[in-house]
Structure 1
Amino acid sequence: MSQQNLPLAGMRVIDYSHFLAGPYVGRCLAALGAEVIKVERPKTGDAGRQHAYFIGNHSGYFLQQNMGKKGLCVNMKDPRGRALMQKLVDSADVFVENYRPGALGKMGFGYEDLAKTNPGLVYCSISAYGHTGPDAHRAGFGLIAEAKSGIMQMVGVPGEAPPLLRISLGDMYTGIHAVAAINAALLGRVKSGKGQHIDLALYDTLVSMHEYAVQLYTLSGGKEVPVQTGHDMPNSTLYGVFRAQDGDLVIAAQVDDAWKRFAQVVANTGGPAGWDADERFHTAAGRNANRLEILPIVKAWVAQQKVADVLAKLDAIDVPCAKVQRIDEVLDDPQIKARGMVIEQDHPALGKIKLPNLPFHFSGCDTTVTQVAPDLGQHNAEIAHSLGFSDDDIAAMQADGVLYAE
Structure 2
Amino acid sequence: MSQPLPLKGIRVIDYSHFLAGPYVGRCLAALGAEVIKVERPGTGDAGRQHAYTLDDQQSGYFLQLNMGKRGVSVNMKDPRGKAFMHKLCDSADVFIENYRPGALDKLGLGYAELAARNPRLVYCSISAYGHTGPDAHRAGFGLIAEAKSGIMQMVGVPGEAPPLLRISLGDMYTGIHAVAAINAALLGRVASGRGQHIDMALYDTLVSMHEYAVQCYTLSDGTVLPEQTGHDMPTSTLYGVFRAADGDLVIAAQVDDAWKRFAAMLEDNGAPAGFGADVRYHSLNGRNTHRQDILDVVKRWVAVRPVAEILRLLDEIDIPSAKVQRIDEVLADPQIQARGMLVEQRHPRYGTLRLANLPFRFSDCDTTVHQVAPDLGEHNAEVAAGLGFSAGEIASMQADGVLFTQGDVP
Class of the TM-score when normalised by the shorter of the 2 chains: over 0.9
SS of residue in 2 equivalent to 1:298: helix
Deviation at 1:163, TM superposition (A): 0.4
Map 1:3-402; keep pairs closer than 5 Å.
3-56=2-55, 57-402=57-402
Alpha-carbon distance in structure 2 between the residues aligned to 1:401 and 1:108: 20
1:177-211: CA deviation from partner (whole Å, max 9, x where unpaired): 00000000000000000000000000000000000
Alpha-carbon distance in structure 2 between the residues aligned to 1:287 and 1:386: 66
Deviation at 1:286, TM superposition (A): 0.6
Equivalent position amino acid for 1:250 in 2: V
Equivalent position amino acid for 1:70 in 2: R
Deviation at 1:106, TM superposition (A): 1.6
SS of residue in 2 equivalent to 1:36: strand
Alpha-carbon distance in structure 2 between the residues aligned to 1:325 and 1:22: 29
Equivalent position amino acid for 2:370 in 1: T
The percent of aligned pairs where both chains have the same amino acid is 77
Deviates more, 1:348-357 or 1:103-112: 103-112
Alpha-carbon distance in structure 1 between the residues aligned to 2:65 and 2:2: 26
Equivalent position amino acid for 1:81 in 2: G
Deviation at 1:109, TM superposition (A): 1.0
Equivalent position amino acid for 1:15 in 2: D
Deviation at 1:105, TM superposition (A): 1.0
Equivalent position amino acid for 1:110 in 2: G
Alpha-carbon distance in structure 1 between the residues aligned to 2:130 and 2:72: 27
Alpha-carbon distance in structure 2 between the residues aligned to 1:171 and 1:140: 11
Equivalent position amino acid for 1:37 in 2: I
Alpha-carbon distance in structure 2 between the residues aligned to 1:110 and 1:283: 57
Deviation at 1:3, TM superposition (A): 1.7
1:336-391: CA deviation from partner (whole Å, max 9, x where unpaired): 00000001100001000100000000001000000000000000000000000010
1:92-114: CA deviation from partner (whole Å, max 9, x where unpaired): 00000000000011222111110
- Give the length in aligned residue pairs: 405
Task: Give the superposed CA RMSD.
Answer: 0.5
Equivalent position amino acid for 2:234 in 1: P
Equivalent position amino acid for 1:343 in 2: V
SS of residue in 2 equivalent to 1:103: coil
1:9-68: CA deviation from partner (whole Å, max 9, x where unpaired): 000000000000000000000000000000000011000001010011100000000000
Q: Tell me the TM-score normalised to structure 1 length.
A: 0.99
SS of residue in 2 equivalent to 1:275: coil
Alpha-carbon distance in structure 2 between the residues aligned to 1:55 and 1:270: 52
SS of residue in 2 equivalent to 1:276: coil
Q: Tell me the TM-score normalised to structure 2 length.
A: 0.98
Equivalent position amino acid for 1:72 in 2: V
Deviation at 1:265, TM superposition (A): 0.4
Can you give the 5+ residue segments of structure 2 that lack an aligned partner in the other structure? none
Alpha-carbon distance in structure 2 between the residues aligned to 1:42 and 1:4: 38
Equivalent position amino acid for 2:386 in 1: S
Alpha-carbon distance in structure 1 between the residues aligned to 2:191 and 2:382: 32
1:223-277: CA deviation from partner (whole Å, max 9, x where unpaired): 0000000000000000000000000000000000000000000010010112111
SS of residue in 2 equivalent to 1:4: coil
Alpha-carbon distance in structure 2 between the residues aligned to 1:88 and 1:55: 32
Alpha-carbon distance in structure 1 between the residues aligned to 2:138 and 2:67: 30
Any runs of at least 4 consecutive aligned residues in structure 1 with deviations exceeding 4 A, and if so which? none
Equivalent position amino acid for 1:160 in 2: E
SS of residue in 2 equivalent to 1:285: helix
Alpha-carbon distance in structure 2 between the residues aligned to 1:211 and 1:304: 35
Alpha-carbon distance in structure 1 between the residues aligned to 2:42 and 2:62: 15
1:72-99: CA deviation from partner (whole Å, max 9, x where unpaired): 0010000001001000000000000000
Deviates more, 1:315-324 or 1:106-115: 106-115
SS of residue in 2 equivalent to 1:39: strand
Alpha-carbon distance in structure 2 between the residues aligned to 1:351 and 1:3: 30
Alpha-carbon distance in structure 1 between the residues aligned to 2:104 and 2:81: 15
1:124-145: CA deviation from partner (whole Å, max 9, x where unpaired): 0000000000000000000000
Equivalent position amino acid for 2:70 in 1: K
Alpha-carbon distance in structure 2 between the residues aligned to 1:383 and 1:298: 62
SS of residue in 2 equivalent to 1:38: strand
Equivalent position amino acid for 2:310 in 1: V
Alpha-carbon distance in structure 1 between the residues aligned to 2:110 and 2:392: 31
Equivalent position amino acid for 2:98 in 1: N
Equivalent position amino acid for 1:48 in 2: G
Alpha-carbon distance in structure 2 between the residues aligned to 1:45 and 1:243: 45
| CA contact 2:82–2:108 (8 Å) conserved in 1 | no
SS of residue in 1 equivalent to 2:236: coil
Alpha-carbon distance in structure 2 between the residues aligned to 1:205 and 1:151: 11
Alpha-carbon distance in structure 2 between the residues aligned to 1:112 and 1:53: 38
